[in-house]
Structure 1
Amino acid sequence: MAYLKKITTITLVGVLLLSCMVKAQNSKSTTKIDKMKDQEIVNVALLYIKDGEEARFEKYKKKGGAILEKYGGKIERIIKPKMLVKGKLEMPDEIHFASYPNIEVFNKFNKDSEYIKIRNEYATPALKDISIFTSKNTDFEFKKEIGDQTKTYGVALIYFNEGEKYVKQFEEYHNDACAIMPEFGTHFERFIAPFQSKGNIEQPDEIHRFYFDSKEGLQQMGTDERMQALFPKRDASLRKLYFFIGESNL
């Protein structure tokens, strides 16, 4: 029972954390690639590594990352999921976040002959599956903070219900939720909106990445009465949610 209670608590936290991004939820429909020349691009990859191919894939990350840096990009965060607390999905071995200065750099990197050779030699034979979401930053203003490898991380793939009334539901509790969460050591690193994707996993409307100062704070936030009061309305706004809890190795 204690284990189930813990899982329920974390699930509630994951759903409620999504409150702090309501201003951006219509971004998917308005995104135009030709208007993104000067915007940062964030590529999110859910990776499934074949058994016994971990060492080969590590070589790919090292070699591919070095080429990416030549273009002014970087692998900014790698999350190793430990738990899928919401949704039904095979849990990936790793979730990568790579950033690029703009869409032009993103395209040049992916066409780089040296990178293609490394990808074909190391990544392709090491992976059994991959889903990739190419994304832009939302227009939501928030205090961006950067965590480290000691933190517990959350990654949420969010799918909204259709309809203006759900936008209003977000807005009704948006300010209250965002005022409460920092009390429990919650910090936000990314609010991004995919505009193109590859792979079997449906393209989400939003992807969020955040971290917690402690697991205790995460659990306390889930049991806070103010946060629990927001949950029913928040849950009704979503048609689907994949919420991962994990650790960072970068």
Structure 2
Amino acid sequence: MKYLKTVTSIALTFFLLSSSNSKAQEKNQLNNNSKKTEKMETKNKEIVNVALMYIKKGEEERFEEYKRKGGAILEQYGGKIERIIKPKMLAEGEMDLPSEIHFATYPSLEVFNKFNEDEEFIKIRNEYAIPALKDISVFTSKNTNFEFKIEKGDKSKTFGVALVYFKDGEQYEKQFADYHDDVCEIMPEFGTHFERFIAPFQSKGSVEMPSEIHRFYFDSMDGLQQMGADERMKALFPKRDASLKKLYFFIGEATL
């Protein structure tokens, strides 16, 4: 339990980096309906689809076949399955632990829509994915305008995925801006690396659409624990906690 609390405190710190979002953007992100203006903005930009997959017991091989066949068609459209993470624990929030969390990329929203309308893909989805899954929540996302160094981890690393929900109000955006620069300077000292920092604009499923989704990895669990004990980080926690409405934070292993 002590370890879990430490990991949770550390995890919450990373989400301070979202201070660059505007108030209007935050409101759009919290709306589960697709917005026309958002679609216009993302038309010619990379799209990242994030899916929480809940696989039925005994249907794992069928789902693996779906990934193989569906992934091959995705590549024909210039997309790819970028990362698959198997959560080992939910360090913050309350929900059933997904079997897998998928991150798939598409060159544009137009390509994303064409892929999902592909007759062969629909056939594969109906034959393999639908019978194998008991539940799924999907978030279609765009890259945020936050500037940070994107790094890629290997499968030996421990990965974190966070669904972040911010409170409404300009005062919370100002809170993030006040300490966000300090957090950016501290985290690299402890071997924390960001892979993705995206903002959903439409969703399907039972899980509420988050304001942002963060994906990162750690060089070591020792570094992760040391960062949680750092006095500079601890000093930021109260301001951080006051700005968050809700958070789901998964820790797991990458299979891709």
Give the shorter-chain TM-score range. Answer: over 0.9
Query: 1:16 maps to which residue?
Result: 13
What per-residue deviation string (whole Å, max 9, x for no partner) do you get for residues 37-96 of structure 1? 211000000000000000000000010000000000000000100010100111101000
In structure 2, stretches of 5+ residues that fail to align are: 29-36
1:34, distance to aligned residue in structure 2 (A)? 1.9
Question: Percentage identity across aligned positions?
Answer: 68
1:188 and 1:24 mapped to 2: Cα distance?
A: 17
Instruction: Report the Cα offset of residue 36 of structure 1.
Output: 1.8
Deviations 1:107-136 (A, max 9, x none): 000000000000000000000000000000
Shift, 1:25, TM fit? 5.7
Residue of structure 1 equivalent to 2:139:
133
Q: d(CA) in 2 for partners of 1:159 and 1:153?
A: 20
Aligned to 1:240, the other structure's residue is in SS state strand
Conserved 8 A contact 1:28-1:194: no
CA apart distance, 1:29: 4.0
My pick for the range that moved more, 14-23 or 192-201, is 14-23
Q: Which residue of 1 aligns with 2:43?
A: 37
Distance change (3 Å), C-alpha of 1:25 and 1:97:
farther
How far has the Cα of 1:24 moved from its partner?
Answer: 2.6
Cross-structure match for 1:49: 55
Query: Which of residues 101, 112, 120 is equivalent to 2:126?
Result: 120
TM-score (norm 1): 0.97
Q: Which residue number corresponds to residue 186 of structure 1?
A: 192
Gaps of 5+ in 1: none
Give the Cα separation in 2 of the matches to 1:24 and 1:164.
Answer: 11
Does 2:225 correspond to 1:228?
no
Tell me if the contact between 2:27 and 2:168 (Cα under 8 Å) persists in the aligned partners. Answer: no
For this pair of structures, how many residues does the alignment match? 247
Q: Which moved more, 1:202-211 or 1:214-223?
A: 214-223
| Corresponding residue to 1:245 among 245, 251, 254 | 251
1:7 aligns with 2:13: no
User: Which amino acid is 1:23 matched to?
Assistant: S
Q: Distance in 1 between matches of 2:160 and 2:59?
A: 26
User: Does the 8 Å CA contact 1:157/1:206 hold for their aligned counterparts?
Assistant: yes
Distance 2:176 2:212 in 1: 14
Shift of 1:5: 1.4
- Give the counterpart of 1:161 among 152, 160, 167: 167
Do the aligned partners of residues 25 and 192 (structure 1) sit closer, same or farther apart at CA in structure 2, a change above 3 Å counting? Answer: farther
Taking the aligned partners of 2:142 and 2:248, their CA distance within structure 1 comes to 19
Superimposed CA distance per residue, residues 213-239 of structure 1 (whole angstroms, 9 cap, x where no aligned partner): 011111111111111111111011001
Question: What CA distance in whole angstroms lies between the structure 2 residues aligned with 1:199 and 1:102?
Answer: 22
Match of 2:98 in 1: 92
User: Aligned partners of 1:246, 1:213: CA distance in 2, in Å?
Assistant: 14
Secondary structure at 2:140's aligned position in 1? strand
Report the 3-state secondary structure (helix = DSSP H, G, I; strand = E; otherwise coil) of the residue aligned with 1:32.
Answer: helix
Give 1:218's aligned residue: 224
Distance in 2 (CA, whole Å) between partners of 1:17 and 1:29 is 21
**Residue 104 (structure 1) aligned with residue 110 (structure 2):** yes
Q: Which amino acid aligns with 2:9?
A: L
Instruction: Give the aligned CA root-mean-square deviation in angstroms.
Output: 1.0
Answering whether residue 207 of structure 2 is matched by residue 207 of structure 1, we say: no
Please list every run of at least 4 consecutive aligned residues from structure 1 whose deviation after the TM superposition is greater than 6 angstroms.
none
Q: How does 1:166-181 map to 2 (within 5 A)?
A: 166-181=172-187
Query: Which residue of structure 1 aligns with residue 33 of structure 2?
Result: none
Structure-2 residue corresponding to 1:58:
64
SS of aligned partner of 2:70: helix
How far did residue 28 of structure 1 move? 4.4
